[in-house]
């Protein structure tokens, strides 16, 4: 039991205070002869600490390649950015022997606390790769494909072929370049060659192959229809408002009256006839009223006389009886 406690105390300095405090990708793949940049992220409390990059599977047997307090290495460089809480490591001209495990580390400087570290595996491979496996462009425009190759293919002839049609292959030749009206190929002889497709047409859509030596990798090219130009519609200007001036009324003269006399004559005749008829009707009504009024006055007088004798019926025997003849108007 005592030996177990001593062993535990001996391992404490090498146990990280918290897991995954420093982070990076678990694996990186890169073509031989190219460069690789690895980002290592850390916590804010380590902004002022020394960072390092070393090769090895364990901290005890790790070979330091770069430190932020010593930047003298040519093949490996390290840069710390405390504001972004990340330090980056760049390895140049990688060889197959550079494959293996590496450590991103933050130096703690405390005997009771181990450095905060994380591991990553780098694989240096032979062959080819592309920056983008699919590219697209509008009809009539241009697109560029960048194909990467490993060191052993630097002197190999590079090809650009339509997939499934080997007779369509275009070769760079001894000068490392090729160009015609639709395609341009350029090899920098350091690990990449570029293909530029010019004046794209819809029939250029399809799969292609980047080839170096016996290695090849597929790329898809998509051509989209050219955007149609919007037709601007113009409308005629709105008519301006105008004031219409009417001519003054024509004065009535003797000549104009005589010229229009044939229209006024019927109107005057009709008006005269209507006036005569009206006067005749009015005269007849007045004559009838004058003839009836005396008879009505005589009837009223008789009623008044009867009212003067309010006595018995016998008194009526001495009363004078008056007979009115409507035609002669004589009294009896």
Helix, strand, or coil (residue 233) = coil
Rounded Cα–Cα distance for residues 198 and 142 (Å): 5
Looking at 32-36, 48-52, 109-113, 270-274, which range is the least confident one?
Answer: 109-113
For 75-106, how does the pLDDT look when each residue is reduced to its tens digit (9 = 90+)?
899 999 999 999 999 999 899 999 999 999 99
Q: Most distant CA pair in the chain: distance in Å?
A: 178
For 98-134, how does the pLDDT look when each residue is reduced to its tens digit (9 = 90+)?
999 999 999 987 767 789 999 999 999 888 988 889 9
- Residue 246 φ/ψ, nearest 5 degrees: -85, 145
Pairing of strands 134-138, 215-224: parallel
- DSSP assignment letter at 232: P
- Residue 171 φ/ψ, nearest 5 degrees: -110, 150
- DSSP assignment letter at 101: E
**Per-residue pLDDT at 246:** 52
Instruction: Please report, to the nearest 10 degrees, the dihedral formed by the alpha carbons of residues 151, 157, 160, 163 taken in order.
Output: -90
Cα four-point dihedral sign 280, 286, 290, 291: positive
- Tell me how crowded residue 70 is: count the other CB atoms within 10 A of its CB: 11
**Per-residue pLDDT at 237:** 60
Rounded Cα–Cα distance for residues 45 and 52 (Å): 16
- Structure tokens given for 178: 């090729």
If one compares 207 and 72, the residue with the highest pLDDT of the two is 207
| pLDDT at residue 327 greater than cutoff 70 | no
CB distance 116 to 108 below 8 Å:
yes
Rounded mean pLDDT of 60-87? 90
- Tell me how crowded residue 37 is: count the other CB atoms within 10 A of its CB: 13
If one compares 278 and 256, the residue with the highest pLDDT of the two is 278
**Per-residue pLDDT at 81:** 96
Domains detected in the chain = 18-125 (2.60.40.10), 128-224 (2.60.40.10)
């Amino acid at each position: 039991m005592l030996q177990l406690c001593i062993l535990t105390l001996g391992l404490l300095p090498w146990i990280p205070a918290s897991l995954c405090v420093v982070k990076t990708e678990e694996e990186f793949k890169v073509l031989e002869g190219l460069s690789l940049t690895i980002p290592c992220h850390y916590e804010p409390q380590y902004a002022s600490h020394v960072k390092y990059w070393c090769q090895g599977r364990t901290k005890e047997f790790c070979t330091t390649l770069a430190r932020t307090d010593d930047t003298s290495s040519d093949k490996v460089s390290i840069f710390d950015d405390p504001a972004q809480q990340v330090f980056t490591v760049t390895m140049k001209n990688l060889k197959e022997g550079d494959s293996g495990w590496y450590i991103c580390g933050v130096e703690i400087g405390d005997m009771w606390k181990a450095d905060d570290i994380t591991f990553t595996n780098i694989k240096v491979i032979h062959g080819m790769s592309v920056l983008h496996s699919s590219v697209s462009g509008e009809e009539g425009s241009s697109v560029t494909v960048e194909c990467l190759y490993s060191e052993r293919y630097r002197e190999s002839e590079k090809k650009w072929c339509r997939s499934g049609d080997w007779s369509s292959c275009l070769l760079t030749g001894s000068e490392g370049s090729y160009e015609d009206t639709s395609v341009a190929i350029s090899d920098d002889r350091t690990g990449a060659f570029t293909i530029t497709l010019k004046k794209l047409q819809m029939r250029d859509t399809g799969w292609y192959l980047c080839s170096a030596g016996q290695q090849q990798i597929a790329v898809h090219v998509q051509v989209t229809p050219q955007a149609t130009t919007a037709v601007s519609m113009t409308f005629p200007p709105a008519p301006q408002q105008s004031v219409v001036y009417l001519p003054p009324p024509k004065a009535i003269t003797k000549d104009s009256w005589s010229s229009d006399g044939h229209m006024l004559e019927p109107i005057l005749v009709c008006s005269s006839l209507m006036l005569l008829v009206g006067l005749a009707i009015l005269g007849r009504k007045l004559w009838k009223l004058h003839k009836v009024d005396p008879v009505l006055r005589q009837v009223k007088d008789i009623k008044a006389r009867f009212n003067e004798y309010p006595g018995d019926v016998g008194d009526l025997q001495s009363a004078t009886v008056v007979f009115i003849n409507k035609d002669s108007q004589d009294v009896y």
